[in-house]
Amino acid sequence: MSKQALAGVATFAAAAIALSGCSGSGADDPSNTIDGEVKGDLKIITWRTDLVENGQFDEYIAAFEEQYPDVSVEVEGITDYAGEMTTRLSTNNYGDVIGIPAAIQPNQFEQFLEPLGDKADFEDTYRFLNGAAYEGVQYGLAIGGNANGVLYNKRVFEAAGITELPSTPEAFLAALQQIKDNTDAIPLYTNYKDGWPLGQSFGNLGGITANPDASSEMAKDPAPWTEGKDMYTIDSLLYDAVAAGLTEEDPLTTNWEQSKVDIATGKIGAMTLGSWAISQMQDAAEANGASADDIGFMAFPANVDGTQYTVIGGDYNLAVSRHSESKAAAWAWIKWFVEESGFAENEAMISTVADAPLPENLSGLEEAGVQLMEMNAAPAGEEGLLNEVASDSQVDLFGNIYRQELVDVARGAADGDKESFFADLNERWGASVERLAG
């Protein structure tokens, strides 16, 4: 499974789920609470089909059941997790433990999920709380976290003569040009055809300007694609790289699975992805006779007064279904999975446990003096505003549609230029801001 980070730092929900309006015995039984006896049957619904297929989930289940012998666990992996869960959430039968789908708006949490307690009570123990909290109540815990930035092949950079990692957009474009001039590698790979990797760059919102409130401010900003702002810098880098011929020759033929092999073996120089992808690229390297050590990760090429910032955020948040008949067991699974299973370490993710060390694959960020930054929660009453503006304006912030259009303009396959494209985005976005936040 390769799309697990799509629910990471920010999510885009096209519309709220229609509620079924019915309730199950799990919700109605007053003795069935997260603080009750840890026992019963437990069904875990996961997007990590790879871990189901390779047997890793069986090992997690065996370890949990050894600690909690009165619980029987089964797991179901879903390939199209977002789509399938949207359908299942129209019923009461959507498992006991789920990863909160992006389609559930924060103001719908209480209708689908069991509250875990006051957010304030979790803040000293865990990271990444904002994505599963609403009005001071915590509804889930992240399985781990990721950093946003650029994944690159160290060997390609060395062969190109790049001796220092770029910390500005201009330096990054110059480095890509060096790769094109001095190697046979594709400098920057967009994964245009699969589409969803294009949305990964949105996770850098806030890191460009070192502003942890960038998400909530963007929800009220009538013109985010203006020079000097995060979105302008993020999308300009893609546009300028494509326009300069520093990406794949034919974006219509890109292939995500093949791109993992190609960057691992030095046929691609860099891709804008979250740190969740590092382990997949390292696995591809080892499977194809290359070295896992060739895979590097750097901050997005921007800085504030010489300091770079990398936005970190939680991956999918595990939550207890409000219709579960084994809520205490479901909550025990979530805490165990986050704190004791070793999942974050196995996946080289940032642990949700606040005092846990960073994974080894992010040591380069520390060595470069990059500051890690979590985004602040939106102000009370505005938790869903960014999604609402995005939906109303039809600008899929964490998706691929408008960025594919941007690539088409940049490569001359569609009319316009960067200025006209950004002006159109600002016009659409600004009109929605006026309607919803003005």
288 and 242, same structural domain?
yes
386 and 324, same structural domain?
no
Phi, then psi, of 151 in degrees rounded to 5: -95, 135
Are residues 433 and 389 in contact, defined by beta-carbon separation less than 8 angstroms?
A: yes
Which residues span the domain enclosing 52? 4-144+316-356
64 and 177, same structural domain?
no
364 and 352, same structural domain?
no
429 and 307, same structural domain?
yes
Could you tell me the two tokens for 206?
């806030």
Spatial distance between the Cα atoms of 158 and 181, rounded to a whole number of angstroms: 13
Spatial distance between the Cα atoms of 213 and 215, rounded to a whole number of angstroms: 6
127 and 25, same structural domain?
yes
110 and 29, same structural domain?
yes
381 and 320, same structural domain?
no
From 291, 324, 356, give the residue that closes a domain.
356
Could you tell me the two tokens for 378?
């939106």
Q: Which parts of the chain register pLDDT below 70?
A: 1-28
151 and 139, same structural domain?
no
From 356, 383, 410, give the residue that closes a domain.
356
Give the CATH number, domain containing residue 113: 3.40.190.10
331 and 265, same structural domain?
no
From 334, 356, 378, give the residue that closes a domain.
356
Q: Is 60 exposed, middle or buried (0-12, 13-18, 19+ CB in 10 A)?
A: buried
Asked whether the whole model's pTM tops 0.75, one would answer yes
Spatial distance between the Cα atoms of 51 and 75, rounded to a whole number of angstroms: 10
Residue 36 is predicted with a pLDDT of 94
Spatial distance between the Cα atoms of 355 and 29, rounded to a whole number of angstroms: 36
* Dihedral sign of CA atoms 98, 361, 154, 375 in order: positive
330 and 302, same structural domain?
no
Spatial distance between the Cα atoms of 100 and 231, rounded to a whole number of angstroms: 26
321 and 203, same structural domain?
no
Spatial distance between the Cα atoms of 18 and 38, rounded to a whole number of angstroms: 32
Spatial distance between the Cα atoms of 316 and 214, rounded to a whole number of angstroms: 21
Spatial distance between the Cα atoms of 283 and 35, rounded to a whole number of angstroms: 40
- Domain tally for the chain? 2
Phi, then psi, of 250 in degrees rounded to 5: -125, 95
- The residues facing 137 across adjacent strands are 118, 134
Task: List C-alpha distances in Å: 24 to 20, 29, 43, 116.
Answer: 11, 9, 16, 19
Residue 24 is predicted with a pLDDT of 45
